[in-house]
Amino acid sequence: MPPQSLKIDNARYIITVDPERRIIQDGSILIENGSVSRVGKAAALANARADRVIDARNFVVTPGFLNGHMHISYAHAVRGIFPDNLGSPLSHVFKLQMAMTEEEEHATTLLGLVELVKNGTVCFVDPGSTKFPDACLQAYQDAGIRVILGDCVTDQEAPFPLPRYDTAEAVTRTLSFLKKWQGRLDGRIYAWAMPFSAETCSADLLRQLKRVADERSTCLTLHHNSGPQARKDSQARNGHTPTEYLESIGVLGPNVVLAHSLGVDDAEIECLARTGATVAMCPVTAAKGGRGVAEFGRMPELLAKRVKVALGCDSPNNSNHLDIVRAMNMAAIQYKDSRQDMRLIPAESALEMATLIGAQALGVGNEIGSIETGKRADLVLFDTQRPEWQTLFNPVNNLVYNADGRSVHTVIIDGRVVVDAHRQSFVDEPKLYAKVQEMGEKLLARTGTTFPRSRWQIV
């Protein structure tokens, strides 16, 4: 049980991301029953008493981070196996994922959760890759994190192994998933419709799932490829660009989150702005995967049109880390370089995407994403007594350009301290590391997956 009340006292800075974007120097936050009940100058809250008081004089406090596209389930067992010269690893990815057992998925999920919360993530979208959510429920509960889950469905042929059903069965599965999962763990589980992509789902299935999401007041997410080749393929298939195709079949709206969305053109950006559909971009995946951010990335234009953009880490074999601070850094620097314009994606915009704008993109902006009275108390406390935080004049610049998740000292979700002085207490980490290493070795052997261990000889 969380303490009834908690006070973050005398923080060096509180970056609220509230409507005025106030940064409160020497600030305090009072948390009662899981929500922020007061936030302001420490002097103004001097008389506020709490069951537990955290001395925050060396801390920078931010809202908890959201990860808008994060396949949590498989990659930790085999992280780093793909050599750089492999090209797309997708066929191996899905083969490994399909082969995972319940026990393996539970352990890799636990490891993913450890990495997520210790780097300050309070809410993530798993785009339907968890096959055994029942087995993982205890892990979600123990970690205390918010999880957006769904059942990945397709009803068309795909170039790699994906869960494929009849259209009607895919809809029924989604309906029963929503019924079973929505609102569990005191509202920290959110269930969404999760068709894999427009290429692997019929228009009929997408339309029906959008209707289900609307009727159940929830969201829908799918992988969204764009760029010249995807546009050409889509034009040939249905006479539209990928984004306009979704609009033409009635599938875009404010409760639809398009993942990746690298390479949308101007008409597609207009289409997103017009319909209120949102995007979850994975800047590190795009860069590491050589997807051509310089040529195809449109994050500045999306933000200029007020399209809500969340950041994601995709998977531990894509980005390969689960650290949203590093994703913020990449988002903030990659457009400056690729367009030779330092004004693009200022540090504040990167932080907004990881917090308030990201929360709005994922339909939870009324609950979390900023530090405001009445919102759920999801907070990250960064320890500034570290070299990378010196010297400290502009806390947002220091966070986005100097720091990474390793200076996350304390994480609070729903008023509960889930990371305390860099430590989580829901799992024995060394034991888990050994277990997942062993599982990874067995999974590779079982699936006949072999790659050279390194380009350099391991002796």
Q: Which residue is nearest to Zn ion (CB)?
A: 127
Judged on CB neighbours under 10 Å (0-12, 13-18, 19+), 19 is exposed
CB of 200 to Zn ion, least distance (A): 12
CB of 280 to Zn ion, least distance (A): 9
CB of 223 to Zn ion, least distance (A): 5
Complex with Zn ion: residue 127 or 133, whichever CB lies closer:
127
| DSSP state letter for 391 | S
Q: Which phi and psi (to 5°) does residue 278 adopt?
A: -120, 170
Complex with Zn ion: residue 41 or 291, whichever CB lies closer:
291
Concatenated DSSP letters for 231-246?
HHHHHHHHSS-HHHHH
Complex with Zn ion: residue 13 or 190, whichever CB lies closer:
190
Complex with Zn ion: residue 63 or 127, whichever CB lies closer:
127
Complex with Zn ion: residue 149 or 408, whichever CB lies closer:
149
Show contacts with Zn ion in window 336-365 (CB under 5 A). none
The pair of three-digit structure tokens given for residue 414, joined into one six-digit string: 């729903």
Judged on CB neighbours under 10 Å (0-12, 13-18, 19+), 277 is buried
Give residue 377's identity as a one-letter amino acid code. A
CB of 260 to Zn ion, least distance (A): 7
Show contacts with Zn ion in window 84-143 (CB under 5 A). 127
Helix H or strand E encompassing 256: strand 256-260
CB of 346 to Zn ion, least distance (A): 27
Distance separating alpha carbons of residues 223 and 69, to the nearest angstrom: 9
- Classify residue 128 as left (phi > 0), alpha (psi -120 to 50) or beta: left
Total number of residues that touch Zn ion (CB under 5 A)? 1
Complex with Zn ion: residue 2 or 127, whichever CB lies closer:
127
Which of 136, 181, 190, 191 lies closest to 426, judged by CA?
136
CB of 69 to Zn ion, least distance (A): 6
Complex with Zn ion: residue 44 or 86, whichever CB lies closer:
86
Counted residue by residue, the chain has a size of 459
Distance separating alpha carbons of residues 137 and 147, to the nearest angstrom: 10
Complex with Zn ion: residue 68 or 365, whichever CB lies closer:
68
CB of 79 to Zn ion, least distance (A): 16
CB of 73 to Zn ion, least distance (A): 11
CB of 333 to Zn ion, least distance (A): 23
Distance separating alpha carbons of residues 23 and 27, to the nearest angstrom: 9
CB of 71 to Zn ion, least distance (A): 5
Distance separating alpha carbons of residues 122 and 418, to the nearest angstrom: 10
Complex with Zn ion: residue 255 or 318, whichever CB lies closer:
318
Complex with Zn ion: residue 127 or 395, whichever CB lies closer:
127
CA 14 vs CA 26, 58, 62, 93, 320: distances in Å: 8, 11, 6, 40, 30
Residue located via tokens 């192994």: 161
The pair of three-digit structure tokens given for residue 277, joined into one six-digit string: 């559909």
Give the chain's largest Cα–Cα span: 67
Distance separating alpha carbons of residues 261 and 231, to the nearest angstrom: 12
Distance separating alpha carbons of residues 138 and 158, to the nearest angstrom: 32
Distance separating alpha carbons of residues 145 and 416, to the nearest angstrom: 10
**Contacting residues toward Zn ion, per CB under 5 A:** 127
